[in-house]
Every structure is written in structure tokens, then in C-alpha cells.
Amino acid sequence: MKLDKSDFSEWYNAITKEAGLCDLRYGIKGFVVFMPWSVMTMNRMFGMMEREVERTGHVPALFPALIPEHYFMKEEDHVEGFVPEVFWVTQAGNNPLEEKYGMRPTSETAMYSMYALWIHGHTDLPFKLYQRCQVWRYETKATKPFIRSREFYWIEAHNCFATREDAMNQVREDMGMTENVIHQQYCIPFLFFKRPQWDKFAGAENTFAADTLMPDGRTLQLPSTHMLGQNFSRAFGIKFTDEDGEEKHVWQTCYGPAISRIYAALISIHGDDKGLVLPFRLAPVQVVIVPIFRDETRDMVLKECRKLKESLSEDFAVKIDDSNNTPGYKFNYWEMKGVPVRLEVGPRDIEKNEAVLVRRDTGEKASARTEELKGKILEAAESMRQNLKKKADEWFSTKTSLAKDMDGLEKEIEQNGFVRVPFCSDGLEAKECADALKEKHHANVRGSLFGSDEKPEGEKCVACGKDATIYLYVARQY
RNA sequence: GGGGAAAUGGGCUAACCUGGCAUGCUGCCAGCUUUGGGAGCUGGUGAUCUGAGUUCAAAUCUCAGUUUCCCCA
């Protein structure tokens, strides 16, 4: 099987099949079977993200997957935004239900109906809860495994605070978690944008989203964190008595890293023409031992491999490939799977008390003394993490360009990536301008760069030509 | 949301135009054999997406459905 990443769409379809990540043959549109190799990595991703979420004071809970319609309808904007993509349960057994139940597309309305019962006083705050679950959305856009499907797997954290300021600090903490895990550990680069008003989460005051880029230059939204203000707390009656004895509505935030989608970015950004390249800590098999033997050396070599596996298993996920395939086949197979470290062990190595260590990212081979292997593997693991991150960051940093007018935008958007443009506003009144960009250039406004206070001076909006007040970033989008 | 293409053993595919025995590779199973970059031989296993229509006869023609892929919004 020949992979060619220069045709990303083909590469992506091929790798999901060849590396055994998912099976599209289930037969319901947008519903995909995730297979062990992807699930094992996503489990590790979940684990790291959950540790981070708990480190920052969140506790876990699990809410029902079904949401009664009347919960769903409480917050007006939320209804408008989400109802078109809800799957509804209308019948149980042979009996039609009196009230239909929505399969959660996100859990605000499920969780906040309970929050209203649980939160009473300021000592209950901050209130930080998360759950790991799957959600369902009736997507009308083209579905693609992991990138966009009608059922996906995520973590959602839902927090309540006494003040707007506390809530805004949570938004910043969410961004920090995203940096710590998704950038530092998954080695995926992104920019945080403040979404324009016409593209925020349904029911939120403001939405901040981490956008990465796929190899074809189109952007993919990773976690977003939302400043909900008091929209939901008013709709659901989540109130607390403050120190001053006054009853107030809580200020809320929510944060949603979609692990299955982040996985799509992970495999796409790091993969190459030989297959997946997995960061060491996310690999289901971190070290694969390939024994090399002839008939007469077979038993001896396998015995040494087992000894080696035993000595390394305490620290790493190790597998011996003792199948009857040839070494070349095994090399290609495990490279396709993205296993970070391969150890080749044959009679020549055993004689010298060594093993050949091969790292997946560079293909570099080096012999190492058996007793030094653990250290060498740890070294390679850290070096690969840094290398993957550096490579991805460097590529990503070249993918933002500038344009001052439509002609410039037309030219730059063809190179793909983000294009920074002067814009009249990011308020609702500028939606028409955004629609114009979408129509003319298939370019989506992603928002203003968070934390940047760059102001255009004397520049005109690329769409309407009025005085520009803000720089926005646009990109073609998944 | 609009348009196009496709669907044949587990995977890839031939046959489809011009209706009549379903081809090859790969995988899988068994045996032999083989191992420092995708080995070989022998035997075996396994398929026309679903439903309707036309016809003596449908993988092939017609219609509908489902799913997948591509392009546009």
C-alpha cells in the first residue's frame, strides 16, 4: 500500500483504513466504528486530558444521554442553534412517548437542570464538574471519520462562578489546559480565536476556540471554551445567596475538547508517507521488538527477546512481533501503525549484548547496549516529542499570511492556512461581510486572535470597504 | 443545502457498453518452507448493496432506497 500525503484527502481515507483506525461499513450515515488501534490512543488522550481537568479542580460525573424536550427548550439561543441537529427519541417499545427525548448534542441543558438543585450558596462556588461521554449531532455537512461524524466522543466541563471575573479566569484556565495537553503533549499547534458574534456557541456570550490546520491548509476547530455569562443560569434558575445575603445568578463557562476530533488532527499532522507517527505517550505499543532469526537461532533469539520485553515492560508498552512474517514486512507494518520505537534483535546483536533501536519520526537507527536501552528509549521518546512539536510548530507558523483587500485575500487564501484581514467589526452587523467572504472565496471568518490587541489604522474592511476596526483571521474550514 | 460518481468474496478488482459459465491479485485457513526492509510452493475458503420493474434469462437495462467518495454552497 502506497501512501502519499501530498494528496491529503486520499491519504486520510487510506490511513484510516490501512492502519485499522475505523470501519465505515456500519451502514448508518455518519456513524463510524472506531477500532482498537484508534481507541487505545484515544483512551490515552482522554486520560491525559482528564488528569489535567482534575488537576485544575474539576470532579467527574455522568449525566444521562437523553434530555427531555422541555429542558432543552429553556434557553432560547441554544434551542435555535442546536435543535436542527438533535436526534429525537419518540417511542419506547411499542408506546409513543408523551414527551420526546433528545439525544444530547451537548449537555448544558441536562446538567444545568440539576445544577439548579445543587447550588445554593456562595460556598458551593466555584462549582467545577466534567463528564466524559459521547454526543450525537445530525450533521448535514459531509461527514468524515474522526473529523466530523454524527456521533463523537469528548470531555465537557461545565463550571459555575460567583462573578464574571471568576468565569473569565476559567476561560483562561481552559486555554492553559489546551496548551498543556494538546500542544505540549499531543504536539498539535493551534491559535486561540475569539469567535465573531455570529459564530459563537448557541447560548454563549463569547466563544474562544483553538483552531489548528490540517495538512491541506484547511482549519479544524479543536476545543472551544465558552463564556456563558448568565444566559443559562437565568434560564435554568441556577442561583446562589452571596455573602451580602443577596440572591444572584451564577456566571458560567463550559469547555469541550472533542477527543475523537483531536485524534483526527493528531494523525493528520504527524503522519507521513509510511503511515502514522504517534507521540510516544499516546502509542498503544510504544516499543515493538522485531526478532531476527534463522531456523537454528529461532529459539535463542525469541528467548532473548522475551527477556528484553520483561525488562522493559515495567516502563513501556512493549510488544514482540513473533509472527511468521519477514522482518521487512514487520518493519513496514509497525511503521504504518506509528509505533515510536522499534528494537531489532538478531544473533549479531545478542552476541554483542545490544539491540538496534530505530525511531519512527526520523527512521534513524542506532545500536544500544541492552542495559542502556531503558535510558535510550526514554531519551528517544522525549526527543521525538520535541521533534514532532517543533516540526508541527514550524510548519504552522508559516501558514498565516496577511491581506489588505479582496484581491490579496483571493491570492493568499489559495495558499491555504490563516489569512489576517482588516474587518469592519466582529459584531452581528458584520455578518454580511463574513457571508460575502464565504461566498466569494469559500473563506470562513474564524475570529480575532485572543490576547492580541492589534488595531488596524487607516485600513478598510476587505468586504465592505468601511473603516476597519479589527483584524480577523479567515481560513477555509473543515 | 445543491450537483456528480460509485457499490462484485474480508480488501482491491475483471466482466457491464453489446443481458446467458463471475476474472485476477491480496487476505484468511491447512501443510511444507522461509526471516537484518513488504519471501515461495501446494491445497482450501469466500462475492454481484437493498427493494421493485423489464426479460425465457439481470452483476449487466430501468426506477426507488441505502451507504461511500468527490465537487459546489
Looking at residue A290, which CATH number applies to its domain?
Answer: 3.40.50.800
CA of A303 to C1' of B33 (A): 23
Helix A406-415 vs helix A431-441: angle between axes, to the nearest 10 degrees?
Answer: 60
- CA gap A273, A335 in Å, rounded: 10
Give me the mean pLDDT over the A221-242 stretch.
97
**A225, part of any domain:** yes
Nucleotides of B under 7 A from a protein CB: 1-2, 11, 33-39, 66-73
Using the CA of A323, which nucleotide's C1' is the nearest one? B35
**A395, part of any domain:** no
Using the CA of A348, which nucleotide's C1' is the nearest one? B36
| Domain co-membership, A355 together with A301 | yes
Q: Which residue's CA shows the smallest distance to C1' of B73?
A: A439
Q: What is the pLDDT of residue A416?
A: 83
**A261, part of any domain:** yes
Q: What is the pLDDT of residue A149?
A: 95
| Domain co-membership, A226 together with A317 | no
Q: Global pTM?
A: 0.97
CATH number of the domain residue A232 falls in: 3.30.930.10
- CA gap A22, A308 in Å, rounded: 32
CA of A299 to C1' of B70 (A): 52
CA of A322 to C1' of B33 (A): 17
Q: How many domains does chain A have?
A: 3
The pLDDT tens digits for A264-274 are 999 999 999 99
CATH number of the domain residue A470 falls in: 3.30.110.30
Q: What is the pLDDT of residue A1?
A: 58
| Domain co-membership, A264 together with A362 | no
Domain span at residue A308 reads 285-383
| Domain co-membership, A102 together with A246 | yes
Q: Which residue's CA shows the smallest distance to C1' of B69?
A: A13
Please say if the pLDDT value at position A2 is more than 90. Answer: no
Please say if the pLDDT value at position A99 is more than 80. Answer: yes
- CA gap A106, A458 in Å, rounded: 42
CA of A328 to C1' of B27 (A): 18
Using the CA of A327, which nucleotide's C1' is the nearest one? B35
| Domain co-membership, A324 together with A223 | no
Using the CA of A324, which nucleotide's C1' is the nearest one? B35
| Domain co-membership, A302 together with A411 | no
Q: What is the pLDDT of residue A49?
A: 98
Q: What is the pLDDT of residue A454?
A: 86
| Domain co-membership, A370 together with A298 | yes
Give me the mean pLDDT over the A223-247 stretch.
97
CA of A31 to C1' of B57 (A): 39
**A2, part of any domain:** no
Give me the mean pLDDT over the A35-44 stretch.
97
CA of A155 to C1' of B18 (A): 59
Please say if the pLDDT value at position A20 is more than 90. Answer: yes
Using the CA of A477, which nucleotide's C1' is the nearest one? B73
The pLDDT tens digits for A439-462 are 888 899 999 999 998 899 999 999
Please say if the pLDDT value at position A16 is more than 70. Answer: yes
CA of A197 to C1' of B56 (A): 69
Using the CA of A355, which nucleotide's C1' is the nearest one? B36
Q: What is the pLDDT of residue A98?
A: 95
| Domain co-membership, A414 together with A319 | no
CA of A85 to C1' of B55 (A): 46
CA of A86 to C1' of B64 (A): 27
| Domain co-membership, A168 together with A306 | no
The pLDDT tens digits for A361-390 are 999 999 999 999 999 999 999 999 999 999
- Give φ, ψ of A96 to 5 degrees: -65, 140
In chain A, pLDDT over 70 holds for what percent of residues?
Answer: 100
| Domain co-membership, A317 together with A216 | no
The pLDDT tens digits for A396-425 are 999 999 999 999 998 999 888 999 999 999
A209, A235, A270 - which closes a domain? A270
Using the CA of A3, which nucleotide's C1' is the nearest one? B38
Q: Which residue's CA shows the smallest distance to C1' of B7?
A: A25
Please give the mean pLDDT across all residues of chain A.
96
| Domain co-membership, A308 together with A452 | no
Using the CA of A1, which nucleotide's C1' is the nearest one? B38
CA of A305 to C1' of B15 (A): 50
| Domain co-membership, A369 together with A410 | no
In chain A, pLDDT over 90 holds for what percent of residues?
Answer: 95
